[in-house]
Amino acid sequence: MPTTVKAYAATSATEPLTLTTIERRDVGPHDVRIDIRYSGICHSDIHTARGEWGPTDYPVVLGHEIAGIVAEVGSEVTGFRVGDRVGVGCLVDSCRECPYCRRGDEQFCVEGYVETYSSTGRDGRPTQGGYAEAIVVTEDFVLRIPDGMGLDVAAPLLCAGITVYSPLRHWRTGPGTRVAVVGLGGLGHMAVQLASAMGAEVTVLSQSLKKQEDGLRLGATHYAATSDPDTFSRLAASFDLVLNTVSASIDLDAHLSLLAVDGTMVNLGIPEHPLSLNASSLLMRRVSYAGSNIGGIRETQEMLDFCAEHGIATLIETIGVEQVNEAYERVVASDVRYRFVIDMATLA
């Protein structure tokens, strides 16, 4: 029989999140039941809760940065045992048969991957995320959190970490690579640490210099304010890779001018409104404008192990579940350094 658990859910686009109960499926042969200890707050949660990316099927339990402890395993599970420290990210299933799934890129599944929340599972029921006491996930989509890494700081790696790690790896970041990170927020502060650990020379591009000390401490070599009109002329044609981590609208042509010949700008944030650019911004130096969408399970595990090896962690502010609505407002106002994490023990 399904199990009832406490959760915090959005019931409409305009009402605050409230305490509720949801049903989790019974543990099947290949399933893992996880007692959730921490759940990170991603801006995607807020967009979904408020219906900003299209219609949302309410009520919905948000949260796809999940860290916890294995409480039960199915009869045929081989990779996990009760007591293991584990995580769940943005995807909980896929077809597993298409070329992309077979090569470990489940995020590009031809049939569309099953998202952790606001999606439809193989049982035909809506998926519900990590602002809850527990979750049941098939073992192929469960990540192992390395020993020595706190569950609280690990949780945001399951979205923020992999979202920046995947493009850094895809565009072969390494020694000698010049990387600019647009925005020093939840994604940006991870991008700085990861790119620096990979050997890149990192520059933070932020609206102001108010976070300069943080950026340099996290591994950036340079820090520049995009509000200064001299920044774009001074740094023209300076970078091999520009990661845009913000969801706000920016001047694409100005940022593309920062790329060296054959450089690439990768969009990671999803602005509410469409962006536009001038084709000439791409032509003169054969630059590319691209996007990237999280990463597959294999790459996400690689990212977790890389972070453990290099001592990389998210900088977090831990809150109780009753503070979620206030935290949402603070995320929108960019008033967090750098990721809110909910202590799910406060649901008890």
Do both 135 and 183 map to the same domain? no
Each residue of 240-281: pLDDT tens digit?
999 999 988 899 999 999 999 999 999 998 877 888 999 999
Do both 117 and 40 map to the same domain? yes
Query: How many structural domains does the chain have?
Result: 2
Do both 99 and 115 map to the same domain? yes
Do both 35 and 110 map to the same domain? yes
67: CATH:
3.90.180.10
Each residue of 123-154: pLDDT tens digit?
889 999 999 999 999 999 999 999 999 999 99
Do both 311 and 183 map to the same domain? no
Domain span at residue 171?
A: 161-291
pTM for this prediction: 0.95
Report whether pLDDT(117) > 90.
Answer: yes
Do both 307 and 274 map to the same domain? no
Do both 166 and 205 map to the same domain? yes
Percentage of the residues of the chain whose pLDDT score is greater than 70: 100
User: Could you tell me which of 244, 254, 248, 224 has the C-alpha nearest to residue 290?
Assistant: 244
Which of 269, 291, 313 marks a domain boundary? 291
Which of 291, 309, 329 marks a domain boundary? 291
225: CATH:
3.40.50.720
Do both 103 and 215 map to the same domain? no
Do both 272 and 300 map to the same domain? no
- At 1 the pLDDT is 56
Which of 250, 269, 291 marks a domain boundary? 291
Do both 286 and 325 map to the same domain? no
Do both 12 and 106 map to the same domain? yes
Do both 129 and 173 map to the same domain? no
